[in-house]
Amino acid sequence: GVIERKHYDVQESLLKAANGDEHHWSPSAHTVFWAEQVTHRRSTGASPYFLSHGVHPLLPLDVEEATFLLPPPTSVLTTTDLLARRA
């Protein structure tokens, strides 16, 4: 169900962050899990971090301002793609 879907998103994000090499996912794990925790959820209207702590996470820089460093998407991105782009 819902839990399995989240595990799938995290698994796919780890693979994308490791450039598809399933044996080299561990260096990217902390960034993928952090991105998963600070990503806004449509269903709750907030990030899991905010729901757990009651405050927004402190980021080294504002993610919204840093998106100009990424090429613009050519299509609608999936949750997995969004997490991988933030990791």
- Look up the domain containing 54 and give its range: 2-86
pTM for the full predicted model? 0.59
Report whether 84 contacts 29 (CB < 8 A).
no
| pLDDT grade for 9, boundaries at 50, 70 and 90 | confident
Task: Look at residue 65 in the predicted model and tell me its pLDDT.
Answer: 58
Specify the number of domains making up the chain: 1
Report whether 24 contacts 4 (CB < 8 A).
no
- Cα separation, 52 vs 23, in Å, equals 31
Task: Look at residue 62 in the predicted model and tell me its pLDDT.
Answer: 61
Section 2-13 average pLDDT: 83
Residue among 80, 81, 61 nearest 71 (CA): 81
